Amino acid sequence: MTQEFLPFALPEIGDDEIAEVIDTLRSGWVTTGPKVSQFESDFSKFLSSDVESLGVNSATAGLHLGLEALGVGLGDEVITTTHTFTATAEVIRYLGAIPVFVDVDVNSLCINIAAVEAAITLRTKAIIPVHFAGRAADMGALMKLASRHGIKVMEDAAHALPTTCEGKLVGTLDSDISVFSFYANKTMTTGEGGMLVTRNQDIAERVRMMRLHGMNCDAFNRFTSKKPSWYYEVLAPGYKYNMTDVAASIGIHQLRRIRVFQQKRARIADLYDAAFADLPIAPPPRPVQGDMHAWYLYVIQLGDDACVNRDDFIDQMFAQKVGCSVHYIPLHLHPYWRDTYRLTREMFPISQQIYERCVSLPIYSKMTDNDVERVVRAVRVAVG
């Protein structure tokens, strides 16, 4: 029998998610409504009772709304890492602000705090750290730096559920905002979707209004209240970033299993670490002692003594019907960012080195032991 292709990522959707979606479809209310409200409440309880969670239709939307709520605007500078997906930076441009790119730390693959400090100017309005692959950035040092300079911090936590930093869940730290992703391949999914989390009530109110056209009342509240259902007021030129009840129906049950998902991913990471210990491969950075890694990605780096380069390695993995990917093609290599901001690979030596050597291997909660063994065998063959 021909062996099937082992994909890079797959969501784990159960009967509870399916039943909840069916219940939503039968209810007649499929856009933002009671299921979104429940999901938001559940998410806040999962993190901490003193945070407010706001569902959006993508993490990109959450990042955009967050920067807008922080008052970022034309000509402001926002510092972030080059080693990320383009969404982290593009939301800065949405507001006419200027992205300032810095390198990553060689030991964590997250934003380099010393590089952030060197990039701060009088125009710096905010910093967006990225918790790469599910490992927390050095938020203690970053928050001290931001506090000294009076700079806002919004965490790109797309990879980071349920990551901890200094014993606290990401989403409960001292930053102004955290934004999570529920895209199809994340540690939990709603298909498409995201969650913005903040303790600041002014930010929460601004985001709540701006995620739905700048209106002061959403459709569910209008059509279920005792006031005339036709009346609302537009208070600002907002966006169309609301989460649907269909998406939230999936999220309600995915969230209940997030700890189990993390444990499965962590076990796979441990198996990989042991299996590759004798190969010319650098494993992903482990979290600080006592902290939790979400293991959204398992990113290896090929060593100097490997008998194959990164691109050929990937070709050999696919030839063995094992999917893999690269995280990330750094922003300084993409034509728009490179040409607009005159970026060169020499400006970001750590990110460039990681990119040239890195491969992301399959790691997801639906993987079986046989799947893991297939990946291990394929890696050993590909390395030569």
The pLDDT tens digits for 68-99 are: 999 999 999 999 999 999 999 999 999 999 99
Whether the per-residue pLDDT at 222 is higher than 60: the answer is no
The dihedrals phi and psi of 29, each to the nearest 5 degrees, come to -115, 105
Please tell me whether residues 163 and 130 are part of one structural domain. yes
Are 151 and 104 in contact, with CB atoms under 8 Å apart?
A: no
Please tell me whether residues 184 and 70 are part of one structural domain. yes
Please tell me whether residues 195 and 342 are part of one structural domain. no
CB 143: neighbour CB atoms within 10 A?
17
Whether the per-residue pLDDT at 1 is higher than 60: the answer is no
Please tell me whether residues 199 and 289 are part of one structural domain. no
Please tell me whether residues 237 and 262 are part of one structural domain. no
Are 122 and 171 in contact, with CB atoms under 8 Å apart?
A: no
Catalytic-residue membership of 125? no
pLDDT band, very low/low/confident/very high, at 217 (cuts 50, 70, 90): confident
Q: Looking at the 3D structure of the chain, how many domains does it have?
A: 2
Helix, strand, or coil (residue 312): helix
Q: Is residue 90 part of a domain?
A: yes
Integer Cα distance of 57 and 63 in angstroms: 11
Of the candidates 147, 138, 83, the residue with the CA atom closest to the CA atom of residue 333:
83
Q: Is residue 74 part of a domain?
A: yes
Please tell me whether residues 178 and 300 are part of one structural domain. no
Are 108 and 91 in contact, with CB atoms under 8 Å apart?
A: no
Whether the per-residue pLDDT at 323 is higher than 60: the answer is yes
pLDDT band, very low/low/confident/very high, at 384 (cuts 50, 70, 90): confident
Helix, strand, or coil (residue 351): helix
Of the candidates 209, 384, 225, the residue with the CA atom closest to the CA atom of residue 302:
384
Q: Is residue 202 part of a domain?
A: yes
Q: Percent of the chain, pLDDT > 70?
A: 97
The tokens for 275 are 């299996």
Please tell me whether residues 54 and 107 are part of one structural domain. yes
CATH number of the domain that residue 305 is part of: 3.90.1150.10
**Using omega within 30 degrees of 0 as the cis cutoff, is the peptide bond preceding 283 cis?**
no
Q: Is residue 213 part of a domain?
A: yes
Last residue of a domain, one of 256, 286, 309: 256
pLDDT at 226: 61
Q: Is residue 1 part of a domain?
A: no
pLDDT band, very low/low/confident/very high, at 41 (cuts 50, 70, 90): very high
Please tell me whether residues 276 and 193 are part of one structural domain. no
Last residue of a domain, one of 198, 227, 256: 256
Helix 369-383 and helix 258-275, axial crossing angle in degrees, nearest 10: 40
Q: Is residue 8 part of a domain?
A: no
Please tell me whether residues 242 and 345 are part of one structural domain. no
Greater pLDDT, 225 or 314: 314
- Each residue's pLDDT tens digit, 279-321: 999 999 999 999 999 999 999 999 999 999 999 999 999 999 9
pLDDT at 227: 61
Q: Is residue 207 part of a domain?
A: yes
Please tell me whether residues 91 and 66 are part of one structural domain. yes
pLDDT at 225: 61
CB 384: neighbour CB atoms within 10 A?
12
Last residue of a domain, one of 205, 238, 256: 256
- Each residue's pLDDT tens digit, 107-160: 999 999 999 999 999 999 999 999 999 999 999 999 999 999 999 999 999 999
Please tell me whether residues 29 and 62 are part of one structural domain. yes
Please tell me whether residues 96 and 221 are part of one structural domain. yes
Q: Is residue 163 part of a domain?
A: yes
User: Which residues, in sequence order, are bridge partners of residue 194?
Assistant: 56, 181
CATH number of the domain that residue 250 is part of: 3.40.640.10
Domain with 175 in it: 15-256
Whether the per-residue pLDDT at 228 is higher than 80: the answer is no
The tokens for 365 are 């909660």
CA angle 208, 210, 214 (to 5 degrees): 110
CA angle 188, 316, 320 (to 5 degrees): 70
Selecting among 35, 125, 186, 264, the annotated active-site residue is 186
pLDDT band, very low/low/confident/very high, at 342 (cuts 50, 70, 90): very high
Q: Is 15 exposed, middle or buried (0-12, 13-18, 19+ CB in 10 A)?
A: exposed
